[in-house]
Amino acid sequence: MTFKSRTAIRLADGRELIYFNEEAQSHRAGHADTRQLPPPPPTSQLRYDALVDEWVAVAAHRQTRTFLPPSDACPLCPTTARFASEIPAPDYDVVVFENQFPSFSDRVLPDEITEVTPMAPVRPGLGRCEVVCFTSDHNSAFGALTPSRVRTVVDALADRTAALSQLDGVAQVFPFENRGVEIGVTLHHPHGQIYAYPTVPPRTRAMLTAARAYLARTGNDLYTDVLAAERADGTRVVAANEHWTAYVPAAARWPFEVQLAPHRKVADIPALSDAERDAFGPLYLDVLRRFDGLFGKPMPYISAWHQAVVGEGRELGYLHLQLFSIRRAADKLKYLAGSESAMGVFINDIVPEKAAQLLREL
């Protein structure tokens, strides 16, 4: 672990906040949250869609979440004499705290309904949602972090993945970052989120089905063989080091999409070795800077960690990071229109080999 100390406090409404400090001693836990806050909202509903065998979360309280506040009222900046934020300390390195407007939580209403029709069962959206602040600098970005700070973030994600995986009812832990108003961010401060899902998400279910079928047919691990094929071919490899390879998938769905995968199969972030954690930061920062260099301005993106599920099928998981952008040209975005939104059939405007070439050449 690169962080020297880990200190946890409770915010005014009882939510947990954890400082991951890069110095051995930290006074930050001594700063109390003096705000007057209402109780956290109850958890969402999960409603079952029998037509596609999927659960949909309904979280009406999120409609009132903070939306693009001015920089002097940013809830993710350190607290000042003029503004009390979500983080009571006057400075911090990396912070993780329970989301004030969670999609999933353990706060279940006592009169929770069990169905809306016999064909549409309802259950509580048990789980947890956390916010990860990468830096106290409001005007920074993940791509501007130092490799040592990235290592602190990775260690914090490992800490939270291990803890959240132990919660009752959690099926998968999903750390991610949304960047850019084009993506739909509601806060500009550099941050990510962690969702502890109560069900296995549809994409993970599809990946597990494919991996299980491939194992039965060949006796091999699917992602291991896909990664080996990409490394051997090299056409779509953007960058690599001793422990990781960053490549554009052969069937990329997004105009610019890169997957970063460790060369050794591991289930999740906690399973990464010290050497693998150290090697991740420089490669990821390199890829992020290439993304920003494509059109000479900050690239909107989603960065998504795919980890093994907690229960059945865990042995099939292969940790990897998926980074993608909806920007397809300097002045054009890819919208998920009819085919993608209604039918789930992606049509990519950029040939994956061309995308890899453009990223390599930067």
CA angle 133-129-176, nearest 5°?
55
- Give dist(CA 327, CA 355) in Å, integer: 12
Question: Pick from 294, 314, 201: which is nearest to 248 by CA?
Answer: 294
- Give dist(CA 32, CA 48) in Å, integer: 41
Provide the token pair at 112: 């929770």
Q: 3-class SS at 323?
A: strand
Q: 3-class SS at 88?
A: coil
Question: Pick from 108, 89, 110, 119: which is nearest to 28 by CA?
Answer: 89
Provide the token pair at 163: 């803890």
- Give dist(CA 62, CA 343) in Å, integer: 27
Residue 338 CB contacts under 8 Å (≥ 6 apart), including other chains: none
Give the residue numbers annotated as catalytic, written as ranges.
Answer: 191
- Cβ-contact 346, 228 below 8 angstroms: no
Q: Which helix (H) or strand (E) holds 218?
A: helix 202-218
Provide the token pair at 322: 């998926």
- Give dist(CA 223, CA 207) in Å, integer: 9
User: What proportions of the chain, in percent to the nearest 5, are helix, strand and coil?
Assistant: 30, 25, 45
Q: 3-class SS at 175?
A: strand
Q: What is the identity of the amino acid at 61?
A: H
